[in-house]
Amino acid sequence: MVARDLERHLNDVSLGSAAFAIALWIDEGYGSADERAIFGVSIGTVAEVDGMRAAPALREIPDDQWYSRPCSERWNSGNWAHIVEQFLTPETEQALDPLREAIRIDEDLLEHHRPSCDFGWPCSCESTAVRRWIEVGVAALAGTKVPATLPTTPDLLVFAESPDLSCAQRITAMRRTIDAARFHETFPAWQAACQDCRR
């Protein structure tokens, strides 16, 4: 159902230029205004991101960092104009409500980021319900076919994203839907990026 709704949204959306990235925002509730688990879609287009790079704070970033590091501002969907647009139909929202309620109950009982947490994606201290929410989103994204009518770059990337991910977590999230060869071709400096983010 989530994949169906996402495909419908991508078929209907109007873009000013070609998309280079589509991110499915998988939020178990911490980043949403009402602390309710959501799925949203963000779309990065070439024109708007090129315009953003002209800003004084970003224009000095070298090309190799801008394009080929998954933690660069280019790949942060929070910087895109089409950001976390809700796309689920009322029918799908209703079908997801029992899982949302399980997340709410579990999260009330769970102490986050214990000393033993591995900070993976999802991290080891996440509840079973949160892990299921993430899996539903990843499976939907993996099963989504980008419509031929949507203008995209030849190197379009489609990936999962969540709030407040570290560089290592973002890479893990991206790798859930981007095959290894494509990932390494796009991000040859990913190991350096992780090291930079940990400093």
Helix, coil or strand: residue 176: coil
How much of the chain exceeds pLDDT 90, in percent?
39
Q: Is the peptide bond before 151 cis (omega within 30 degrees of 0)?
A: no
The pTM is what? 0.85
pLDDT digits (tens, 9 = 90+) for 101-124: 888 877 665 555 555 566 677 777
pLDDT digits (tens, 9 = 90+) for 122-134: 777 778 888 899 9
What's residue 31's pLDDT?
46
What's residue 117's pLDDT?
63
Helix, coil or strand: residue 158: strand
> In this structure, are residues 38 and 25 in contact, taking their beta carbons and an 8 Å threshold?
yes
Domain residue extents for the chain:
2-193
Helices and strands, number each (H, E), in the chain: 8, 4
Q: Is the pLDDT of residue 169 over 60?
A: yes
What's residue 16's pLDDT?
86
Over range 9-37, report the average pLDDT: 83
Q: Please name the helix (run of DSSP H) or strand (run of DSSP E) that holds residue 108, with its range, or none.
A: helix 90-109
